[in-house]
Amino acid sequence: MADAGSVGAKGFSDAEMAAIRKDFPVLNKTGRGGNPIVYLDSSATSQKPSCVIQAETDFYRDSNGAVHRNTHLLGDEATEAYEDARATVAAFVGGETDEVVWTKNATEAINLVAAAMGNASDGLGGGEAERFKVGPGDRIVVTRAEHHANLVPWQQLAKRAGAELAWLDLTEDGRIDLDTLDRVTDNTKVVAFTHASNVTGAVTPVKPIVEKAKEVGALTVLDTCQSSAHLPIDVVDLGVDFAVFSGHKMLGPTGIGALWGRKELLEAMPPVLTGGSMVTDVSMDSATFQAPPLKFEAGSQPIAQAVGWAMALDYLSELGMDRVAAHEKDITKHLVEGLKDMEGVRILGPTDLEDRLGVVAFEVEGVHPHDVGQVLDFNDVAVRVGHHCAIPLHKFFGVRSSSRASVGVTTTHEEVDQFLEGLTQVQKFFGGGK
């Protein structure tokens, strides 16, 4: 994966940006201050272009049916749309179609792998699942930079299996410290880590971690939630064993995510959810299961959501992910430099632009993050406040919570200026800064 800014990719012209922004109806919404909302909360959830909204509507209007279980026209059309969407996701991330498992979100995708390892440790899956077994004396490795969704499931697995939980630590500015890779020891079974922090925006150097994991035979699980809508992603090139994705952070609908896994691993991994859709035969005392990915997709499927997500990825692909990355890098520079120039404002994370995305958490001296967010909201600027589901990372910086501005494909320089002006209003109101 290359940094788009480093290979000469260009962002979007003013005319192109105007056209892109017209695709997002919510950008016309008036905020509490009487002006269009400046949306700087893409890290929490992305806004949706009209084509995505329309794709979901069209599916329900024209092709709604149950998948993989009918012979009638609507069932066939629904199945085709569902599987075409799976192929679109696979192509977008550089994998094969049968390596993509639908989930309700990225959190579920991580839990699926962790729970499957727990099932294997309990003896399910037979000899084929040997690689997934974890027990006393084994180690699970995460990082201090993780979202709770990529920390708590591994805590639970460690407790269930009697294994040890360890973590890679951070440099002073919040980047993953590769000098702590020695914590990936010979008894390590899995290394789970983020591709980009949802607090600091720091992009993880994936390949050194993967190489270390491979040395000891550990599986790798990559959380791409903060990177996959902002950078080109190729799971094969990254070398990981599993990667998780979140539809609603990639211009797509809520209620859908995906697990990508190497085919041979998905074949060996025991299922977690069981029931309809994932079986080939059932007797009163046993069952046999479908091949992946259907083996992991019990019950009713998120069909319309898959269709909408596929449309979102088509939209991003048409824009060009290298150009999206270049555009956002330019906006991020403006945002970071503007915050650095403000007295009484501290950025949590790297203040340089190398290997970082437009996710910028910050604290305003003497002002609670919720007050920051409320005043900005009155100035028609939407940011995230709280601990961002990353309490250990906030503790690393010596705070409980922060405010966070995050950019997306629709963000403009003018919106960043409005945010910075709103932040001066915060300081004036509460007496912070100059």
Task: Please tell me the distance from the alpha carbon of residue 337 to that of residue 133, in angstroms, as a whole number.
Answer: 47
Based on the residue annotation, tell me whether 225 is a catalytic residue of this protein.
no
Calculate ∠ Cα 251-254-257, nearest 5°: 85
DSSP notation for 204-265: P-HHHHHHHHHHHT-EEEEE-TTTTTTS---HHHHT-SEEEEEGGGTTS-SS-EEEEE-HHH
Query: How do strand 257-261 and strand 100-103 relate by DSSP bridges?
Result: antiparallel
Looking at the DSSP bridge assignments, the partners of residue 39 are: 382
| 79: amino acid identity, one letter | T
27, 53, 389, 391: the catalytic one is: 389
Task: Please tell me the distance from the alpha carbon of residue 416 to that of residue 433, in angstroms, as a whole number.
Answer: 19
Calculate ∠ Cα 37-374-38, nearest 5°: 15
Task: Please tell me the distance from the alpha carbon of residue 335 to that of residue 357, in angstroms, as a whole number.
Answer: 11
Under a CB-based contact definition with an 8 Å cutoff, are residues 383 and 427 in contact?
no
Q: How many CA atoms lie within 13 A of 430 on its CB side?
A: 21
Q: Mind telling me the catalytic residues?
A: 389
